A and B are shown apart, each in its own frame.
Chain A
């Protein structure tokens, strides 16, 4: 890669790294792991920059973030993490700190989800992607996206019973 292309890549990273880093944070939940994930993906981006620069480089890198995070070795590694820790305590209905408690319980529960389950939720509720795009990004069928989302939400409810308070909807995968 010549100096002009390297400068172009640096300019792109300077402009878009904040947005990509936010996605990495949502995916990992930890700043340090997010830095590692984004750096790993940017290395791939630098290697393929001459090819991807004329298309949609941010979309390429965003997809790479998700696929890197959900790749098999990361899944194995993170599973060791999700198996530990206690189920958060249930919030008291009407407690003025309920929202704070709910968010905290959600954070802890999200940390214990399998990477692919978390990725589906990030794509749906953080990036507001339709299932068709989620399927494309994760490299699976739309039906798989729906089943993964349902499992992820069910697992969240197990881990954070606060979520079920006031939940009268039975359609698990609808938004």
Chain B
């Protein structure tokens, strides 16, 4: 083995390992699964009851309730009209290996006000809620990734024929016509694959500023490009540093950029439906979550607040609120104003730790779903 090959192997492993931080909530899921395993050994009745409930759809009694430590419940008034549309990528605690049933998703049935279990590892409702981007597979030869669009009314899925198996999770354009996937391309560069929902055809969009790592990408509000947080890292042990948010067109050209309030704002940008921009960070649980609402053109900070714990922005709820997800031993969802005032705290259903949580408007839900609305 000569030095050249040894060096190439070391560098290649370093590149592979430098794919961003681990997902949040690893400890919580591990502890939940360990507790569940003990209950299994103690008799299994609880497990069976939960599985039966999940299989047939259930009303999530935990959502909308306090967190059990006296800090829950609304503080500043009634609901503002949001609801969790989907818990996507939920680890099935009954399965300890990496079988295809490893992850499932819960999707809100708006007619019944209950969550239905779906055998997709990822579900993402479209902006109008009429369609759902779904994903199966784990990028292995036996179970390659597949992405499709499910029509909510019928449950029928139309599969994209040519999305690469190693593409990241898809992001809907605000106009609901396209879906973009982060794609590590064959030449080693990061690109975006943009797929048309109507025709299912896709094309690769260059992102020449990005060569590796966890590109944090969102559509711009006009659906004509992407906003990406530019992040650098000196490797393990050094914190990621954000420099700016770049706006890119479909040719990969940077149209515009805005500064981040400081280098810890490493998360993907979050736009409201009306185009307000929320930045946040740090990613990876290395410090308490800080959020800033900034001018999307100049980057001027309009408001800024910090949470007590690590976490991430889930999404905007209307134009005046954000739903944030924090992790401090246990997961909590918190509805906050743009000044950081907490209006409501609640926890996901017991044993449900989702990789992604999707939020939508609560209009049209039956009265029985009142507890789900925040």
What is the interface of chain A, defined by CB distance below 8 A to chain B? 1, 6-7, 9-10, 12-14, 17-23, 25-26, 29-40, 42-43, 45-47, 49, 73-74, 77-78, 80-84, 99-100, 102-104, 106-107, 110, 121-122, 125-126, 153, 163, 166-169, 171-175
Known contacts A40-B96, A167-B2: does B17 contact A26 (CB below 8 Å)?
Answer: yes
Provide the B15-27 mask, 1 if CB < 8 A to any CB of A, else 0: 1111111110011
Residue from the list B13, B15, B20 in contact with A122, Cβ < 8 A: B13
Enumerate B5-54 residues with CB–CB distance to A below 8 Å. 5-6, 8-23, 26-31, 33-34, 37
Residue on A with the closest CB to B187? Answer: A104
Q: How far is the CA of A173 from the CA of B2 in the complex (A)?
A: 10
CB atoms of A42 and B27 under 8 A apart:
yes
B166 part of interface (Cβ distance < 8 Å):
yes
Residue on A with the closest CB to B5? Answer: A163
CB atoms of B4 and A166 under 8 A apart:
yes
Known contacts A10-B28, A10-B329: does B22 contact A21 (CB below 8 Å)?
Answer: yes
Known contacts A1-B34, A10-B329, A80-B142: does B28 contact A18 (CB below 8 Å)?
Answer: no
CB atoms of B284 and A18 under 8 A apart:
yes
Known contacts A18-B236, A103-B15: does B30 contact A153 (CB below 8 Å)?
Answer: no
Given contacts A1-B34, A39-B30, A175-B1, 14 further A-B contacts (CB under 8 A): A10-B27, A10-B329, A33-B138, A33-B139, A37-B98, A40-B97, A42-B27, A42-B30, A46-B30, A77-B142, A102-B8, A104-B187, A125-B13, A166-B4
CB atoms of A29 and B31 under 8 A apart:
no
CB atoms of B17 and A17 under 8 A apart:
no
Q: How far is the CA of A104 from the CA of B37 in the complex (A)?
A: 41
Q: Which residues of B contact A42 (CB under 8 A)?
A: 26-27, 29-30
Residue on A with the closest CB to B10? Answer: A125
Residue from the list A19, A29, A47 in contact with B37, Cβ < 8 A: A47
CB atoms of B1 and A174 under 8 A apart:
yes
B285 part of interface (Cβ distance < 8 Å):
yes
CB atoms of B139 and A43 under 8 A apart:
no
A13 to chain B, nearest CB (A): 4
Q: Which residues of B contact A36 (CB under 8 A)?
A: 98, 102, 138
CB atoms of B140 and A121 under 8 A apart:
no
Residue on A with the closest CB to B102? Answer: A36
Closest 10 CB pairs of A and B: A81-B141, A21-B22, A13-B27, A46-B34, A22-B17, A42-B30, A126-B13, A10-B27, A46-B30, A125-B9
Q: Which residues of B contact A20 (CB under 8 A)?
A: 22
B347 to chain A, nearest CB (A): 16
B91 part of interface (Cβ distance < 8 Å):
yes
Known contacts A35-B22, A104-B188, A173-B1: does B31 contact A10 (CB below 8 Å)?
Answer: yes
Residue on B with the closest CB to A163? Answer: B5
Residue from the list B13, B23, B34, B96 in contact with A26, Cβ < 8 A: B13
Residue from the list A17, A74, A81, A121 in contact with B26, Cβ < 8 A: A17
Residue from the list B33, B96, B142 in contact with A81, Cβ < 8 A: B142
Residue on B with the closest CB to A13? Answer: B27
A165 to chain B, nearest CB (A): 8
A11 to chain B, nearest CB (A): 8
Q: Which residues of B contact A169 (CB under 8 A)?
A: 1-2
Provide 21 A-B residue pairs closer than 8 Å at the C-beta atoms, listed in order of the A residue. Answer: A6-B31, A7-B329, A9-B31, A14-B310, A22-B17, A25-B17, A26-B17, A34-B19, A39-B26, A39-B91, A42-B30, A73-B97, A74-B98, A77-B142, A83-B141, A103-B15, A104-B187, A110-B16, A126-B10, A173-B1, A175-B6
Q: Which residues of A contact B2 (CB under 8 A)?
A: 166-169
Q: Which residues of B contact A78 (CB under 8 A)?
A: 140-141
CB atoms of A23 and B17 under 8 A apart:
yes
Enumerate B129-157 residues with CB–CB distance to A below 8 Å. 138-142
Q: Output the residue of B26, B29, B33, B138 with the most chain A CB within 10 A.
A: B26
A113 to chain B, nearest CB (A): 12
Q: How far is the CA of A13 from the CA of B22 in the complex (A)?
A: 10
Residue on B with the closest CB to A102? Answer: B8
Residue on B with the closest CB to A35? Answer: B23
Q: Which residues of A contact B284 (CB under 8 A)?
A: 18
Q: Which residues of B contact A104 (CB under 8 A)?
A: 186-188
Enumerate B328-364 residues with CB–CB distance to A below 8 Å. 329
Known contacts A22-B236, A103-B12: does B329 contact A6 (CB below 8 Å)?
Answer: yes
Residue from the list B26, B96, B97, B166 in contact with A13, Cβ < 8 A: B26
Residue from the list B4, B29, B98, B329 in contact with A33, Cβ < 8 A: B98
Q: Which residues of A contact B4 (CB under 8 A)?
A: 166-167
Q: Which residues of B contact A171 (CB under 8 A)?
A: 1
Q: Output the residue of B23, B28, B34 with the most chain A CB within 10 A.
A: B34
Q: How far is the CA of A100 from the CA of B188 in the complex (A)?
A: 8
CB atoms of B26 and A38 under 8 A apart:
yes
Residue on A with the closest CB to B34? Answer: A46
Residue from the list B9, B29, B186 in contact with A121, Cβ < 8 A: B9
Q: Which residues of A contact B20 (CB under 8 A)?
A: 31
